[in-house]
């Protein structure tokens, strides 16, 4: 991405993550306790959501402008784009922990992957529950009228059990359901792959030296990839300067 982008990311990743969780808390409180909160409190929470959304929008604009890939950044970072369109989903960026090619190559990588999966499942259940409650609570024929029912529905949907005792009837609720089904299937696949990699590591008798060599080789490959990307970027920039 370049030194400017790396420096900016190092300074802003943590604050943006904190804002994402604040947004999630505020959004959840406004939806779950909607009927119990005074109008003034609801308006304040909505204003906080608006300010945080503006911060997300400014953040992705800055990242796009300073990245060497320019507008291609938006295509290669879909979670950042989704976070602006649906700010409550920004905490799901922990999914990037296992998008790396060698996520299962070492014990440390497998542990990091499993931690990301567990956190992702919890966040997915939380976000899906609140989203479907917001979509279904005002619908006359809907059976999802409180957070408990919404949470049960989200758990059944993500695990693809599908008891059918609760189901969304609104268009928005069904869209939420489809997204949760797809992400749930993907997470189950990641869990299966991680467990399989763990068993392979046990049966192959890998020792700490082999693991260290794997990590070292992975770091070397990453350095080579970064160097190649930098050369390609320089080659692409030279014709522009000549013109």
Q: What mean pLDDT do residues 119-137 have?
A: 87
Percent of residues in the chain assigned helix, strand, coil, to nearest 5: 80, 0, 20
- Taking the whole predicted model, whether its pTM rises above 0.85 is answered as no
Rounded Cα–Cα distance for residues 45 and 48 (Å): 5
**In the chain, % of residues over pLDDT 70:** 73
Q: Where are the alpha helices (DSSP H) in the chain?
A: 3-32, 39-66, 72-76, 78-85, 107-136, 147-158, 171-204, 208-242
Whether the Cβ atoms of residue 93 and residue 99 lie closer than 8 Å to each other:
no
For residue 47, the model assigns a pLDDT of 93
What are the pLDDT digits (tens) for 79-122? 677 777 777 776 666 555 555 544 555 556 666 667 777 777 88
- On the question of pLDDT at 231 being above 50, the answer is yes
For residue 65, the model assigns a pLDDT of 83
Rounded Cα–Cα distance for residues 156 and 164 (Å): 9
For residue 129, the model assigns a pLDDT of 92
Q: What mean pLDDT do residues 11-31 have?
A: 87
Most confident stretch, 39-53, 92-106, 111-125, 179-193: 39-53
């Amino acid at each position: 991405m370049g030194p400017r982008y790396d420096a900016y990311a190092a300074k802003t990743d943590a604050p943006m993550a904190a804002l994402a969780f604040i947004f999630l808390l505020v959004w959840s409180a406004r939806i779950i306790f909607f009927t119990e909160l005074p109008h003034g409190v609801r308006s304040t929470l909505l204003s906080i959501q608006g300010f945080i959304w503006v911060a997300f929008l400014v953040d992705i604009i800055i990242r796009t402008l300073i990245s060497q890939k320019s507008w291609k950044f938006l295509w290669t970072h879909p979670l950042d784009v989704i976070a602006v369109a649906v700010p409550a989903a920004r905490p799901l960026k922990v999914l990037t922990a296992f998008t790396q090619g060698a996520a299962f190559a070492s014990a440390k990588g497998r542990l990091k992957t499993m931690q990301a999966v567990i956190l992702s499942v919890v966040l997915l259940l939380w976000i899906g529950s609140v989203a479907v409650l917001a979509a279904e609570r005002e619908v006359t024929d809907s059976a999802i009228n409180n957070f408990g029912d919404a949470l049960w529905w989200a758990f059944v949907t993500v695990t693809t059990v599908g008891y059918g005792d609760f189901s969304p009837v609104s268009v928005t609720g069904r869209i939420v359901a489809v997204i949760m089904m797809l992400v749930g299937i993907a997470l189950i696949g990641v869990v299966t792959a991680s467990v399989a990699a763990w068993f392979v590591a046990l049966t192959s008798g890998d020792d700490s030296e082999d693991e260290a060599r794997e990590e070292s080789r992975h770091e070397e490959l990453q350095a080579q990839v970064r160097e190649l990307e930098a050369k390609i970027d320089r080659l692409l920039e030279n014709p522009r300067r000549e013109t």
